[in-house]
Amino acid sequence: MRDRLDFARDGADWPNREASRFVEAAGLRWHVQVLGQGPAVLLLHGTGGASHSWRDAAPLLAANFTVVVPDLPGHGFTAMPRRPALSLVNMAAGLGGLCAALDLAPELIVGHSAGAAVAAQMALDRRARPRAIVSFNGAFLPFKGLAGLIFPPMAKALALNPFVPRAFAWGADRTAVDRLLAGFGGRIDGEARALYRRLFSNPGHVAAALGMMANWNLPPLARGMARLEPFLELVVGETDRTVPPADAAEIARIVPRAHVTRLAGLGHLAHEEDPDEAAAIIRRVATESAAPTPS
């Protein structure tokens, strides 16, 4: 079992492979896909995902935008950094470095789950200055109640054990991954299941996901959201079992300019379940955020 995914082998049939390139930035070798032409839109996947998460939405957006889709540090085909670089603040800084290396100034940043938190952190830290952020089931708030007390220490313990990623990858058969994806809510097709199985069967990718969870510190982000300058579109899959849909309303009360769009029948991976709707929302936000603000 190889510790890292190899693009020549594991990426031979990777979605949108023709758009892939490798870029040295912020001390890492990044796998990034660039499609289309026009105003720049940066698409960020969530914890445990990769660029494949936007495989259907990205080509739809490429008709109007320059679409940039990276694998986050340690995920997919991007190199594994030192563990501190998997924190929210450092990941935002790394992506800022990637944008600089690509000479990219994204007008929109779109993030799924933890990717939405990274997008907000980039804006708060001035790593990017987007007009708007589109969040699909954004994970901006810490776990509540007992889960909030138990999960962070557990994630740290798992991430520090070098045998855990290999054991998880060894057990990532069809049944285990299908069960994991079912916990997200919504409907996941066969192609998505096969791609997630490929990722979760790799110890390096699993180690990055665990490291990201172990180094995640959301309370400072939650406190800072009141200072968020870009418009924030909060897209919520109503059957999401991972991020409580009610969190979006809580964030909308904090952020100066925010709007909630609810999608009936879609779960945590709403942008993968219905990429046409996801692309339509992103285009709408791009148009509305470019319009002059009424006085």
SS3 assignment, position 254: helix
Please state the φ and ψ torsions of residue 155, each to the nearest 5 degrees: -60, -40
Would you state the pLDDT for residue 51?
A: 98
Pairing of strands 28-36, 66-70: antiparallel
Mean of pLDDT values over 64-86: 94
What does the pLDDT look like over 144-162, one tens digit per residue?
644 444 455 555 555 555 6
Mean of pLDDT values over 167-175: 68
Would you state the pLDDT for residue 191?
A: 92
Q: How confident is the model at residue 290 (pLDDT cuts 50, 70, 90)?
A: confident
Query: What CATH architecture applies to the domain 7-290?
Result: 3-Layer(aba) Sandwich (3.40)
Q: Locate the domains of the chain by residue range.
A: 7-290
Mean of pLDDT values over 38-62: 97
Rounded distance between C-alpha atoms, residue 2 and residue 36, angstroms: 34
Q: How confident is the model at residue 294 (pLDDT cuts 50, 70, 90)?
A: low
User: Tell me, what amino acid is at 211?
Assistant: G
What does the pLDDT look like over 94-126, one tens digit per residue?
999 999 999 999 999 999 999 999 999 999 999
- Written as six digits, the tokens of 212 are 């990201």
Q: Is 159 left (phi over 0), alpha (psi -120 to 50) or beta?
A: alpha
Mean of pLDDT values over 168-193: 80
% of residues, the chain, pLDDT over 70: 88
Mean of pLDDT values over 269-290: 97
Would you state the pLDDT for residue 166?
A: 64
Q: Are 54 and 72 in contact (CB under 8 A)?
A: no
